Structures are given as structure tokens and as C-alpha cells.
Amino acid sequence: MFNHKKELQFEAKPDAPNPLYAKYIQELIGGQYGEMSVAMQYLFQGWSCRGEEKYKDMIMDVATEELGHVEMLATMVARLLEDAPIIQQEEVMKQDPTVKAIISGMNPQHAIVAGLGPRPADSVGNPWSGAYIIASGNLLADFRANLNAESQGRLQVARIYEMIEDKGVRELLSVLLARDSYHQNLWMTAVKELEEKEGGILVPTTFPRDKERFDIAYDFYNLSKGEESQDGSWAKGEALDGEGEFKWVKDPKPEASAPNLKPVTPKMYGTPDLPDQIGFKKE
């Protein structure tokens, strides 16, 4: 059960309308690493969590917070579009070339589709997709995905912060930056806890290593021009899992010959090699 409170957790009010800023904020709502993505990702992870209750409770706490972030950003978009109707914008654009250059970057869907409101979409109008979310049922794998999501999300918030000047918008972004900082710390801590608890860092931690090609499990293949990669810690020394030694392979050799595939049945309408394969015979 979810309960919605009308009050926002933090203020979401710009100093002045700005349709271009509204377009930027859309990326933080419905982009691949936006708040809609992390909210739904955490919700589905929580709903399928079968581990200790503390993990499920933690995931659901963060998921619910992210829903609040969606509302705050949606409110910010709506307020950035308030008092800036299209007719006024067109008049100003005619009078001032500088303003024209700015406002011409507005997302037209804000006016045409949403009536000067926010959209469940990214900054160029692509609709949010459920394909963005990861909920595998394996907490270690999922928490690592969450760390990536929060890292990418904070990076985008920081970039937008530097791109704008509105103090009110920046105040909201400073909130998101702080919470993304905490969430990165949270997922890193949870990942470390699970690694220690499960006794390994590889996902899945309980999969028997004797079922894999262990002889190539620690090789780094030099498969692009240049040999600088051999200087990295991933190419020498003990592996982080403690079960092998990294090795840099300068010129990895193929173990199989080039494939020679048979023609498909004519009913599949592939490209034939010979005319008689599609019913024609040479004269």
C-alpha cells in the first residue's frame, strides 16, 4: 500500500520560467538513468526480494523516496513552463534574437502533448522505457546495477547544475546530488556486505568454478592496437576473488576454424549460393 502526501519532501520552485531548463530536467525524470528508472528498478527488486527482510525493507524505502523525486522534478518542470505560454514566447523570440536562440531549444511535446506540463520522457522526447530497469532476483548483481544507476544519475545532475543559472532549480539539484551521493554509499556498502556474507565477489557467488573454463578465467586478451593495457592491475597480479592470477596475453590464438554454414531451407528465403537452390537450373 502506498500513501501519497501532498507536501513535497524538498522545495521545487524555480526563480523564473524557462522552457529550455524544463527540457533539461526531463532527462532526470524519464531518461535511462532518471528517477523513473531507479524508482521502478528498486520497486521491482523489492517486490521480488526473498532474502533477509532488512534488504527488502531498505530497497522499498529507497524506491519510495525515488518516487518522491519524480514528483519534485515533475513539479519543477511544470513551474518552469508556467507563465510562459507559447504565444508570449513567439513574440519575445521575434523581438530578441538571443532569447530566440534559448527558447528555440524548448521541447515541443511540453506544449503539444502535455499542455505545458511534464512528460514521462527524456530530454529529447523519447518515452521512458521499462527496458531501462534491472531486477534479476540476485541481490548482489542488482545492487551493483543500482550503484551504476546512481553514479550515472549523479553525473547527469552535476552536468545540468553547471549548465543552468536559476538558483531555485539549483537548490533542488543540490538535494538530488546529496541523495545520489548517499545512495552510492548505500549500494557500495550493501555490495560489500553481501560479498562478505556470501564469501565471494563473482555473481552468482555459489556457482561451482569447476563448471567453467578455469584456464582462461584470468586472461586479459590484447585484441586492439597498442599494448598499454598490460600496465593495468587487471593484467597482472592476484585477482580480486583470490582464486587466480591475472595474465596479459599479447596475441591470443583462435581455438576454432572459420565457420562454414549450410544453406537454409528455400522456404526461409535466404540468399542462395547457386541458382538451382531456388528452383532454377543453369542452361
- Residue set of the binding site for Ca(2+): 57, 61, 222, 224, 226
**Residue 274 CA, distance from chain mean position:** 47
In the chain, the DSSP E strands lie at 219-221, 237-238, 245-249
Annotated binding site for Mn(2+): 35, 66, 69, 150, 183
Give SS3 for 12: coil
Annotated binding site: 35, 57, 61, 66, 69, 150, 183, 222, 224, 226
CA distance readout (Å), 50 to 55, 126, 186, 203, 241: 9, 34, 20, 17, 26
Alpha-carbon dihedral angle through residues 230, 231, 237, 241, given to the nearest 10 degrees: -80
Per DSSP bridges, beta strands 219-221 and 237-238 are unpaired
Those residues whose C-beta lies under 8 Å from the C-beta of residue 243, and which sit 6 or more positions away, are 209
